[in-house]
Amino acid sequence: MDTTSGSTSRMDTTHADRRGPFWDVLAGRAAPPPAAQLLGWELVHVDPAQGAIEVAFQAGEQFLNPAGVVQGGFLAAMLDDTLGPALVATLREDQFAPTLDLHVQFLRPARPGRLTGRGRVVKRGKEICFLSGELHSADDTLLAVATATARVQTIR
Amino acid sequence: MDTTSGSTSRMDTTHADRRGPFWDVLAGRAAPPPAAQLLGWELVHVDPAQGAIEVAFQAGEQFLNPAGVVQGGFLAAMLDDTLGPALVATLREDQFAPTLDLHVQFLRPARPGRLTGRGRVVKRGKEICFLSGELHSADDTLLAVATATARVQTIR
């Protein structure tokens, strides 16, 4: 994990002057979006220069399937909220980047508790960006991997 | 949509004697799993002989992303809870079928409200099954499409 200048955790203020939906939430100028709140989303570390992010989620009992493990779709939601922010953290204030597609492989069942997502921008095109990432359990077991494609758009 | 005998909606009792997690929920013998409750899952129609299902979801405000539309991951969760049940409805009581992988393409933004999922078993192998499906808005606009792979397992 890169901890040189340019990287940001909740504790430092390197990017305190940056604006946009992602940075406004981090700086407390805006509430986290409802989907992020529902997933217990929390920033652990972000490095916009590298297009890399680490986030945490709280997998609650409300995400369980009939087998008593987290329904795969909610792991997909967490991975979407890992890969997306890895890219969003690199955008200008007047840009956003909807996900075009998302592919998730479910390697192991996930129990309720804290899960960690690590995401990165694999290739940053002018418009089309390729993303990848993983979801780990609290004991760092690899639970699921994902790739996604997103398209950078300028607002107005 | 096949409406001949063998198909089941919430209103009829053709399969009232069937057992297993899926049928127990439909017959009121078991509570819907938490993940299904959170998504507002509701059966519209199921045809186990055809491996086809139609379900509905309630996309609430709690699923919204910073752009004010449903976060793609929650559409993925809904599609997982469409494709999975299409297969689960065909299983014996002592079987279940975890999803191995899920691929979702997000065609259009989804607003909060009632969404409809249609899923089917494309190929039913002895163990490995290929699934596909779509998510539509209340006015039947196609919002997202998905494919998934699942593995049928026997309990104990």
pLDDT given for residue B17 in this prediction: 75
Among candidates A21, A72, A81 on the partner chain, residue whose Cβ is nearest the Cβ of B99:
A72
Q: If you average pLDDT over residues A8-16, what whole number do you get?
A: 56
Give per-residue pLDDT as tens, A83-92. Answer: 999 999 999 8
Whether B134 contacts B146, CB under 8 Å: yes
Q: Band of the pLDDT at A28, cuts 50, 70, 90? A: confident
C-beta atoms of A34 and B73 within 8 A: no
Nearest to residue A73, comparing CAs of A102, A53, A113?
Answer: A102
Q: If you average pLDDT over residues A91-95, what whole number do you get?
A: 90
Paired strand residues for A5: A7
- Its ipTM equals 0.88
Q: What residue of B is the nearest CA neighbor of A40?
A: B62
Task: Report the gap between the CA of A132 and the closest CA in chain B (Å).
Answer: 14
C-beta atoms of B96 and A66 within 8 A: yes
Global pTM reads 0.89
pLDDT given for residue A21 in this prediction: 75
Give per-residue pLDDT as tens, B108-146. Answer: 999 999 999 999 999 999 999 999 999 999 999 999 999
**A145: contact with B, CB 8 A cutoff:** no
Token pair recorded at residue B19: 């057992």
**A109: contact with B, CB 8 A cutoff:** yes
Across A80-84, B12-16, B92-96, B141-145, least confident range: B12-16
Q: What residue of B is the nearest CA neighbor of A155?
A: B67
Q: Which residue has the higher pLDDT, B136 or A65?
A: B136
**B64: contact with A, CB 8 A cutoff:** yes
**B77: contact with A, CB 8 A cutoff:** yes
Handedness of CA B144, B149, B154, B156 (dihedral sign): negative
pLDDT given for residue B4 in this prediction: 43
C-beta atoms of A35 and B74 within 8 A: yes
- Within B64-143, residue ranges assigned H as helices are 72-88
Q: If you average pLDDT over residues A135-139, what whole number do you get?
A: 97
Please list every residue in chain A whose beta carbon sits closer than 8 Å to the beta carbon of residue B81. Answer: 71, 73
d(CA B72, CA A128): 17
Whether B132 contacts B98, CB under 8 Å: no
